[in-house]
Structure formats: C-alpha cells, structure tokens
Amino acid sequence: MGKRIASYTTLTPTATADTTNLVDSTYPVAFQGGNATQRWNIVEVYLGGQAGASTPSIMLLSFDSQVGTGSLTADAALTDVVNDGSAGLLATVVKVFNKAATNKPQRDVARHLANLSFNAFGGVVRLNWPLDQQFVAVGNAASFGEMSLSAFTGGTTGLQGTHVIYEPF
C-alpha cells in the first residue's frame, strides 16, 4: 500500500471560523475517503514558516462537520504522491483537495484533532505520531470521513509550506 505525502509548496491561508465554509484555495489540504468504508491514518503534519514578518498562525487539523461535495480538485501547488515507488496501487484512493465544486468543507467545532499554532516568521511545526496515536478517518461522510488542515480565527496567518503524510488502507 504505502504512505502518501500531500504537500503544498507555499500558501497564506485564510483564517476561517468553525462551521463556516472553507473557501477554495485558502486552506492547504482536505482529505476524504474514496468510498463509505475506506480508512486512512494521518502519520505526520509539517508546517514551515515562510513569512517576512511575525505572523502568529493558528492552524487546526480537524474532522469536518460538512464534507466537500461535487468535483473535489486541488491547486497546482498541492501535490499528492506515494513515498515508495514500489508500493501497490489501491483500488480506491483518498481524495486530496482544496477546492470543492458544490458544498465546501466546514471544520467541526467539536472535533479538532491537533492545534498547530506557530509563528510563520521562520517557525516550524512537525508532529509525527506513533502508530497507536495516529488520527484515523473512515469513510467519506461527516463527521469522521473527512479531515482538513486550515487556519482558525484569532491569529495573523502568514506564508507557509505544508506537508501531510498519510497512510490509506
């Protein structure tokens, strides 16, 4: 199977309140199961500050209470690649996106998984969880079938680069 890496080269995310539509291309990444039973784990999240001045950024990895629907696509700067070229292909893949054509993802107010607050003026956040502590999603419906990484209100978001390592099953 193999782990995969979703990476966004550089983005200044837009701070968005919980239970509010995430606007296309203003958040680094969202993940949704390819079908109703697909499972995947979040292995690592990395945020690297690229801002030219102090910008305390509140970034949240959360389950979504409203999932993205319609065509789910990604900016050219958002890539999703397998980290082992010899890994087998899955019949159903996790959808990796930051644009949704119909309903937009909404971060769930009660299901924040990790607060990744940092200063985007050169700051770094890297969280790597052991297998028994990784965040697990199942399916493609609210509230456990979609996760997003997005900026929360209250900070001053700054330019940053991101990668998320995940393992689909």
**Strand, coil or helix: what is 132?**
helix
With cut-offs at 50, 70 and 90, classify the pLDDT of residue 90: confident
120-164 tens-digit pLDDT: 999 999 999 898 899 999 999 998 999 999 999 998 999 999 999
DSSP letter for each residue of 95-147: EEESEESSSPPEEEEEEEEEE--EETTT-EEEEE--GGG-EEEESSSTTTSEE
Name the residue type at position 22. L
Calculate what percentage of the chain has a pLDDT beyond 70: 99
> In whole angstroms, what is the distance from residue 142 CA to residue 133 CA?
21
User: pLDDT-based confidence at 92, cuts 50/70/90?
Assistant: confident
The Cβ-side half-sphere exposure at 77, using a 13 Å CA radius, reads 15
Per-residue pLDDT, 1: 64
- Number of Cβ atoms within 10 Å of the Cβ of 91: 8
pLDDT at residue 87 is higher than 80: no
| Residue with the two structure tokens 């993940």 | 31
User: Which amino acid is it at 44?
Assistant: E
Model-level pTM?
A: 0.95
Q: What is the pLDDT of residues 12-49, one digit of tens each?
A: 999 999 999 999 999 999 999 999 999 999 999 999 99
pLDDT of residue 76: 94
